[in-house]
Structure 1
């Protein structure tokens, strides 16, 4: 099978992390990526991953001759990606408006910090500044150390905003290429980092408007939590859902059926506390490795908390393709994340290292290509009506919880019609947020009558998304191989915790298990006990975006070849891409340190959080910005640190004392006027009420037939000519059964299916959680 983006030429004009990660996602699927370095660029260890599988050329855009070369490269490309400051591309004649007339076929991706029509558009989008603007700097409920000040922010070196922008940007590019197959025309794709975080906010920002933003609850149901084992290591156990089945399975396997039989006593606050105490004593009786093995045998979501270095060397990470080894031209044999999307059955493709040294070794060939035919290629596709990229396609969504449903929700926003299948007589988590815009049916596909309905739906579908525990769909006879055998033109996407192959493939796991296994929890805990990273579910929602990326890649492949395919992604692959800067390791890779643990406030005093007279602010600046900072009213004392490598502790102490003299809202305008990044640290209620976010559709209100007005995150990918649309409000799960069956000629079967308990149409679960 040809690589999914074979023949697609991408020019990366450079910038920060988001652009490099987005082009890595494209390069890993076969795109020919040309990365443009500016003179004097210094590589960092993470570039072994972020610059792999591409060609490189150094161009000085201030030089007219070299600027003309960059323009020739851009107009001859299929895709241009830029993650530069907002005014830079246009200043050099390389903005979308500068190129679109000469290259109407061009798909152009911009990844700014803040959107052009936001009052903060000129604010430098440093990671901590975007985190402050999106409330992405709080400790998750139940994870804070004793005595923690809930108003205090915490800094994570994991760049969630940049990562989500890259994931969404690559998805938007693939979708625009699909649409180009119809219309023959490109368009501008825009994913500001501040918009991208709304995808991570997810259900945390979805609520009936009258109730306001809900208070986040700790993950404590059924004994869920992180426990210390006999060898001093930790395990993460998450028996998710209203059912106690996972807890009972664990207790049975541990030799305590009497506890499992009396689990009904662990209700209410006192009962939950008693259960956690009991589990704490139980987990202290065996080593972490023994518990992980027992949990795997019992089929429960349980994982050892590992460091990222341990994850890099875990046999499963290699056999699943989540981690690969390649010979980097600088570091030699090097471990790093594999591809985000796997082509099932094709085997893990050998990873291609970054270009050999010297950095500009590809210059002659790249320039020769651009000079050989300076004209842009003929627009591909055929001139036609411009509609959303997936308009006219049908998606069959068999997924549960967050990651899978998010992927299908995104496909619906891109124009597809989505049919949502859930199991009858169970609750559906976050239905009002992740399943909006879908037709919902409660159908039991485990039983033969339900499978007949499934096949009737699948035969009319273009995409199937499923996240059964690996092996389950195969047991039902509806696995990827079965679906493609019967529907050879379909795109099948599988989502799981650990991946489709490897010794852990059949293991159950959720956000917390994937965080534990891959080093995220250890990183968040720092020198203390491991903790769940982030106020939002960065792996669930990140995997949802990458599964949507996989589906759109599959659709593009089908548009170009006529063939269907089976693709897969997983929570642990997403975790690898979130930690890309830290998951590059080998004998030649220099060691590095990072701010870690709940008390971390930033990378250095000029990039992080500071307390003010009435709250906290984020400061985003570099050492070379000290002269400008010293010119800010109230910061003249910083002039003493100019001209030399400042003493970081002393600089932090001086800044800390100075910022306490004024309120955050007084500091921020003056700091921005000096040209540095600054933002008051917001709470989620403020983020969801932001007028700019609401005006741009990043926060929307809808009317639920069940609870009235609801508030939730809106669309996060901007397409200039075929914009995404938020799906219709979610009805109760199963409320669309009659319409779903009628669409495949089975309306007359509804009564019989309901009598057989295969379809549920009465006593439907709520779309929104009760008060």
Structure 2
């Protein structure tokens, strides 16, 4: 965790405020996934605790406890979710690995528009079956499929080994960047926030967050900020509906509205003028045509914190490509490591999504803490591929999973229901994973359950 905390600009002396409950069989994998998950959640919890101490005037930062059981349960929250007794739908039939003529290719077609682009790029009919796709791809090279599908706006990635990715131009560009990119912008006095009071401590209370992200990583970050008291308003384009099951998993604590940035620009500008944080998770460049690049947002709203999330990084030859956790695992050598080049595998969780989500929340919390003393806006950037590079480099198990003298002995992880809860919601009775971010005096659950996608008004509470 020390490397992550340093990358966030945190004071290394605060690391002794963290205790770890180690569970040796949580998130088992060939790569150090458990250590990555523990470090990301721990850094987020410490950033929250630090901000709480600053806003309350506490002499000491409240102690943080990172329990591998809570972390492992949260990292597969979508698998534990039940909506009225029903398990959510996961990957669509055309989202999977396929054997190509010279290897393997991974596709993503969970959303209707991505499925349509994939089929169109490959010359298949709208009603094409899994068998049709398998026959076609078996006759084509994996990298040729990757190029053809991406050129048509679809999503397909050839399986690569870690060595092949390290030699790839995008892999080189990613490796040269820090895990968390942090920049100060402007010269604006920080907004003075009211001191915290009440129980639990909510370090992000009074912070308004515009959430322009989708699927898992960005929504996990904003779900975490909502847990900590932020007023989070998620905005989506009306023509790009979110998967309702994914929204139920990541919509805790937030409100969700639909807004067309072409016809509703005045409404957006009013929301931006009162926002403290904007989180973006769209493909780099996708929001630029609306004048909403991180730099433009920071210029239009002095003092704003902009947190940008991308799949491949906003640089290099793949800088403007779409991507998802499963595709990044395939391209960066993770799938080949967890399985083999002849039979790809996968991590025990969508750990790049979840881990990067907690890192993004941590970066926002640390920016708020720094801003309280220094003023100015901030731009922070994270990428799934950069988190993957950190993982495949072999996180030092002794460092990322730092255990201090107050930690428990190594325990088992055989009862995930210890970190599950139930409540009523707009989706019916929900079973869900409790948040893993925990510090003394902090919240143990979200203040509100998720509501149906896009049904709230596009205004601040």
Bigger radius of gyration: 1
Counterpart of 2:32 (choices 141, 159, 166) is 159
The answer to whether the aligner puts 1:571 opposite 2:395 as a matched pair is: no
Superposition CA RMSD, Å = 2.7
Partner of 1:240: 110
Partner of 2:405: none
Give the CA deviation at 1:31: 4.5
Higher mean displacement: 565-574 or 281-290: 281-290
Q: Secondary structure at the match of 2:376?
A: coil
Q: Secondary structure at the match of 2:275?
A: coil
Q: Secondary structure at the match of 2:327?
A: helix
Partner of 1:396: 210
2:450 and 2:351 map into 1 onto residues whose CA distance is 23
1:704 and 1:28 map into 2 onto residues whose CA distance is 38
Q: Does the 8 Å CA contact 1:239/1:301 hold for their aligned counterparts? A: yes
Task: Report 1:30-49 matches (<5 A).
Answer: 30-31=9-10, 33=12
Give the CA deviation at 1:307: 1.3
Q: Deviations over 1:649-697 (max 9, x none)?
A: xxxxxxxxxxxxxxxxxxxxxxxxxx99674x74xxx523xxxx2xxxx
1:172 and 1:496 map into 2 onto residues whose CA distance is 23
**Residues 678 and 111 from structure 1, CA distance in 2 versus in 1: closer, same or farther, beyond 3 angstroms?**
closer
Give the CA deviation at 1:582: 7.0
**Residues 417 and 345 from structure 1, CA distance in 2 versus in 1: closer, same or farther, beyond 3 angstroms?**
closer
Q: Secondary structure at the match of 1:484?
A: helix
Q: Secondary structure at the match of 1:111?
A: strand
The answer to whether the aligner puts 1:431 opposite 2:304 as a matched pair is: no
Task: Report 1:6-25 matches (<5 A).
Answer: 22-25=1-4
The answer to whether the aligner puts 1:249 opposite 2:117 as a matched pair is: yes
Q: Does the 8 Å CA contact 1:557/1:563 hold for their aligned counterparts? A: no
**Residues 556 and 531 from structure 1, CA distance in 2 versus in 1: closer, same or farther, beyond 3 angstroms?**
same
Partner of 2:435: 715
Give the CA deviation at 1:550: 1.9
2:371 and 2:411 map into 1 onto residues whose CA distance is 46
Partner of 1:171: 44
Partner of 2:258: 442
**Residues 80 and 220 from structure 1, CA distance in 2 versus in 1: closer, same or farther, beyond 3 angstroms?**
closer
Q: Deviations over 1:138-157 (max 9, x none)?
A: xxxxxxxxxxxxxxxxx522
The answer to whether the aligner puts 1:187 opposite 2:187 as a matched pair is: no
Counterpart of 1:225 (choices 89, 96, 103) is 96
5+ residue gaps, structure 2, are 186-192, 397-407
**Residues 156 and 719 from structure 1, CA distance in 2 versus in 1: closer, same or farther, beyond 3 angstroms?**
same
Q: Deviations over 1:509-532 (max 9, x none)?
A: 112111101111111213641133
5+ residue gaps, structure 1, are 1-21, 34-76, 82-107, 114-124, 137-154, 267-274, 325-337, 347-380, 584-674, 744-771
**Residues 393 and 215 from structure 1, CA distance in 2 versus in 1: closer, same or farther, beyond 3 angstroms?**
closer
Task: Report 1:513-532 matches (<5 A).
Answer: 513-526=327-340, 528-532=342-346
1:384 and 1:396 map into 2 onto residues whose CA distance is 22
Q: Deviations over 1:284-330 (max 9, x none)?
A: 333222222223322211111111222222211222xx313xxxxxx
Q: Deviations over 1:67-121 (max 9, x none)?
A: xxxxxxxxxx3x133xxxxxxxxxxxxxxxxxxxxxxxxxx111221xxxxxxxx
Q: Does the 8 Å CA contact 1:111/1:193 hold for their aligned counterparts? A: yes
Partner of 1:687: 416
2:194 and 2:452 map into 1 onto residues whose CA distance is 41
**Residues 711 and 251 from structure 1, CA distance in 2 versus in 1: closer, same or farther, beyond 3 angstroms?**
closer
**Residues 29 and 482 from structure 1, CA distance in 2 versus in 1: closer, same or farther, beyond 3 angstroms?**
same
**Residues 724 and 482 from structure 1, CA distance in 2 versus in 1: closer, same or farther, beyond 3 angstroms?**
farther
- What TM-score do the two structures reach when normalised by structure 1? 0.53
The answer to whether the aligner puts 1:478 opposite 2:292 as a matched pair is: yes
Q: How many residues align?
A: 438
**Residues 727 and 304 from structure 1, CA distance in 2 versus in 1: closer, same or farther, beyond 3 angstroms?**
farther
2:253 and 2:283 map into 1 onto residues whose CA distance is 25
**Residues 344 and 500 from structure 1, CA distance in 2 versus in 1: closer, same or farther, beyond 3 angstroms?**
farther
Give the CA deviation at 1:533: 2.5
Counterpart of 2:366 (choices 533, 542, 553) is 553
Q: Deviations over 1:520-563 (max 9, x none)?
A: 111121364113332x3212212211111221122122112111
2:443 and 2:270 map into 1 onto residues whose CA distance is 31
- What TM-score do the two structures reach when normalised by structure 2? 0.87
Give the CA deviation at 1:344: 5.7
Q: Does the 8 Å CA contact 1:437/1:730 hold for their aligned counterparts? A: yes
Quick one: higher RCO (CA 8 Å, sep 6+), 1 or 2? 2
Counterpart of 2:15 (choices 68, 76, 80) is 80
Give the CA deviation at 1:220: 4.0
Partner of 1:284: 138
